Amino acid sequence: MNDPTSKLRTATLRAKSDVANKLISMFLHELSKKICREWGARVDSEEYGGLVRLRFGNHCPYCLCDLAATTPVVEHLDGMNRYRVGLHIPGNVVIACRKCNSEKRRDDACKILNLADSGWACFLSHDGNRCAKPCPTCQYWETIWIDETERKQKLSANLQRIQDFRKGFSQFEEVMRPLSMSLPSALTHLYSDCQIFAETEIASLLQKF
């Protein structure tokens, strides 16, 4: 690990996985557009924005901060990556604060989740008692709600609120059930094909220069 060239190798590997992850995100966005067209539903409609506001007010669904006083970002409850297989469709898109959006990525990037069966539920399950210490997500929640009783109560209320929000999109569940069986293996193939393509194309171009 102290070998400086190991850093360079890691950087090259990361560049290739960035390309593959980008391709997966592009595919999931296109699939989302197709599903939305078939439903006649839109994430950017007034109606959907109203439903999100009704459920969460103008607050981050995770930490409850006032979004008017921070940098709001588009948040996918199920992350749009090969492990979480989230889509940009009604029921999965909310507005969160940038900090929670970035803190949640740790759970979203895990192949296997230990605390819950979705990335968002997992993120809200770090109550300080269930993880091997030190856990950065548990520590994050400790900075938001210092009192342990309050922290547990807020985390479980927020989890329930998101569950209730999702129940309002039964179509979403119907579409996702068969997809969640077949998509992960398709995305794993796309990921490895993209990396192989990148390697062989780079190798063949290198011959020319």
Q: 3-class SS at 72?
A: strand
Nearer to Zn ion, 81 or 137 (CB): 137
Residue 73 pairs with which residues in a beta bridge? 96
CA distance 60 to 94: 9
Among residues 96, 92, 50, 53, the alpha carbon closest in space to that of 73 is found at 96
The answer to whether residue 100 forms part of the interface with Zn ion (CB under 5 A) is yes
Query: Using CB under 5 A, which residues numbered 108 to 127 contact Zn ion?
Result: 126
- Residues in 150-209 at the binding interface with Zn ion, rule: CB under 5 A: none
Q: How far apart, in whole angstroms, are the C-alpha atoms of residue 33 and residue 43? A: 10
**By CB neighbour count within 10 A (0-12 exposed, 13-18 middle, 19+ buried), where does 108 fall?**
buried
- Give min distance, CB of 149 to Zn ion, in A: 18
95 forms beta bridges with: 74
Site residue total, Zn ion (CB under 5 A)? 10
Q: x/- binding map, residues 37-76, to Zn ion, per CB under 5 A?
A: -----------------------x-xx-------------
In the complex, the smallest distance separating the C-beta of residue 46 from Zn ion, rounded to whole angstroms, is 24
Closest contact distance (angstroms) between CB of 98 and Zn ion is: 8
Rounded least distance, CB 45 to Zn ion, Å: 24
Nearer to Zn ion among residue 75 and residue 194 (C-beta): 75
